């Protein structure tokens, strides 16, 4: 396999500045060299031109760091081409951080200063002391979320620590602001002790209307979320669990419409029994799906196993065996596990019109092209295939709804209603095997999800307003 055989992606994008001879065909030679090694050419800008030379800047997508280096070598090998500068566009985007704090009002006079700060601010402090609930309307608390991580499970990269987790938390804060106009702040903790994390979040909560737990490894994440929700009066959301579960459920609701099957009658196999797998299983139960088999690296989560934690034991079944054994006759496979563990042969043993969600990133449990003629619907976690299961469809709207009704907690039904709202944005006229969920850029997503979450919160009695 050639190292550039994977699809080029903007995440490995280069900016290359060149000086070429000012002659016909010079640029064509460069573009041909890029294409021959599998690069994907984007924008081309003219920087400077004179009678002898032309300076241009090219944006090029590669499939990996090694592939990017190969592309640069291919350009440098060309006669009459001088490479002036090469930079990694992803690193360029992150330099100096991706977010900053900006004032909502301008301080342009002594009167502004007297109201925004001392002495006028003292009146606001006293008002909150006398009526603590006013903190939601008189400060940022009503629109702020703490994004909390210990860096123990960063993306699919493992235990990288809090500093290495910060770029992800910054990105999360950007998405909160971009899609839901929520002010979210990265809180990266220099501890991976459960009690210390819980106490730290409790200590900082006066400034936040909600908490988004992120990239905290299982099973510790379950205890942290449960305890914080019990001991605090703001909603606690673990995106790796509930965000993934909500969007997966939305995709499944619409997939079942395509194959004319009912949620209550299907057999679902989930491979991966960590944070996401357990949350998906719980949400399936909330939707009245009872025939669920969880698998981990040792096979089926069976009652005879002695190595199960509390969360896994809740889903243990009588059946024993491997993932292949579990899949026989299954209607749905949901993978939140590892690349390449699902084979086309396994999919062939599933029930008619099987649904396969292979969501391991960046390499799914099975490459979609290998089962496109076997499975009725295929979804992944990748943006370069149809049906990307992307948490951005869920968490901005979920928090927008929770903050707007000042919810004191999240409930499983709030998650289910969010999933149904997302699914409902794909009408029957456009629903097909390659379009089971809306785009993350669909402007209807956040307000629709927020409205569904608010309604469910009020029905559950967890909304303050």
Separation between Cα atoms, residue 296 and residue 426, nearest integer Å: 32
DSSP three-state, residue 64: coil
Separation between Cα atoms, residue 271 and residue 325, nearest integer Å: 12
Which tokens in the block code for residue 459? 């029905």
Q: Is 371 exposed, middle or buried (CB count within 10 Å of its CB: 0-12, 13-18, 19+)? A: buried
**Helix (DSSP H) and strand (DSSP E) numbers for the chain:** 18, 14
455, 461, 462, 464 alpha-carbon torsion, rounded to 10°: 90
Beta carbons of 145 and 172 less than 8 angstroms apart = no
The catalytic residue among 21, 55, 172, 267 is 172
The catalytic residue among 117, 126, 303, 348 is 117
Give Cα separations from 396 to 177, 212, 288 (angstroms).
8, 11, 26
How many CB atoms are located within 10 Å of the residue 301 CB?
Answer: 28
**For 239-249, b where at least 16 C-beta lie within 10 A, e where not — what string?**
bbbbbbbbbbb
Beta carbons of 454 and 405 less than 8 angstroms apart = yes
Is 141 catalytic? The answer is: no
Is 172 catalytic? The answer is: yes
Nearest Cα to Cα of residue 217 among 238, 231, 196: 238
Residues serving a catalytic function are 117, 172
């Amino acid at each position: 396999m050639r190292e550039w055989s994977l699809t080029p992606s903007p995440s490995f994008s280069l900016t290359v500045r060149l000086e070429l001879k000012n002659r016909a065909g010079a640029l064509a030679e460069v573009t041909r060299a890029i294409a021959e090694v599998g690069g994907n050419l984007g924008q081309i800008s003219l920087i400077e031109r004179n009678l002898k030379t032309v300076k241009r800047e090219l944006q090029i997508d590669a499939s990996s760091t090694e592939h990017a280096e190969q592309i640069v070598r291919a350009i440098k090998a060309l006669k009459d081409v001088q490479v002036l500068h090469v930079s990694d566009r992803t690193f360029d985007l992150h330099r100096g951080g991706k977010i900053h704090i900006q004032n909502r009002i301008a301080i342009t006079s002594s009167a502004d200063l007297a109201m925004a700060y001392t002495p006028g601010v003292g009146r606001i402090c006293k008002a909150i002391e006398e009526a603590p609930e006013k903190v939601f309307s008189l400060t940022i608390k009503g629109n702020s979320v703490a994004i909390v991580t210990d860096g123990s499970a960063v993306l699919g990269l493992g235990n990288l620590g809090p500093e290495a987790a910060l770029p992800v938390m910054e990105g999360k804060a950007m998405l909160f602001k971009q899609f839901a106009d929520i002010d979210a702040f990265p809180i990266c903790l220099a501890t991976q002790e459960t009690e210390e994390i819980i106490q730290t979040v409790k200590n900082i909560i006066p400034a936040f209307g909600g908490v988004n737990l992120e990239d905290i490894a299982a099973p510790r994440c379950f205890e942290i979320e449960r305890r914080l929700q019990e001991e605090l009066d703001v909603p606690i959301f673990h995106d790796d669990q509930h965000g993934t579960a909500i969007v997966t459920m939305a995709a499944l609701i619409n997939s079942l419409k395509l194959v004319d099957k009912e949620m209550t009658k299907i057999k679902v196999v989930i491979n991966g029994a960590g944070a996401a797998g357990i949350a998906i299983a719980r949400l399936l139960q909330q939707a009245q799906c009872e025939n669920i088999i969880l698998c981990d690296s040792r096979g089926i989560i069976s009652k005879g196993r002695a190595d199960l934690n509390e969360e896994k034991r809740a889903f243990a079944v009588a059946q024993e065996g491997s993932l292949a054994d579990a899949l026989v006759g299954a209607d749905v496979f949901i993978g939140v596990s590892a690349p390449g563990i699902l084979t086309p042969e396994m999919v062939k043993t599933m029930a008619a019109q099987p649904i396969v969600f292979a969501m391991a990133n960046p390499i799914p449990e099975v490459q979609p092209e290998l089962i496109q003629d076997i499975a009725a619907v295929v979804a992944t976690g990748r943006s370069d295939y149809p049906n990307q299961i992307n948490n951005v469809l869920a968490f901005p709207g979920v928090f927008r709804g929770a903050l707007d009704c000042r919810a004191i907690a999240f409930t499983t039904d709030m998650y289910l209603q969010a999933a149904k709202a997302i699914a409902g944005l794909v009408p029957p006229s456009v629903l097909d095997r390659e379009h089971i969920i809306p785009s993350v850029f669909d402007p209807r997503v956040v307000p629709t999800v927020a409205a569904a979450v608010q309604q469910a919160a009020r029905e559950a009695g967890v909304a303050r307003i």
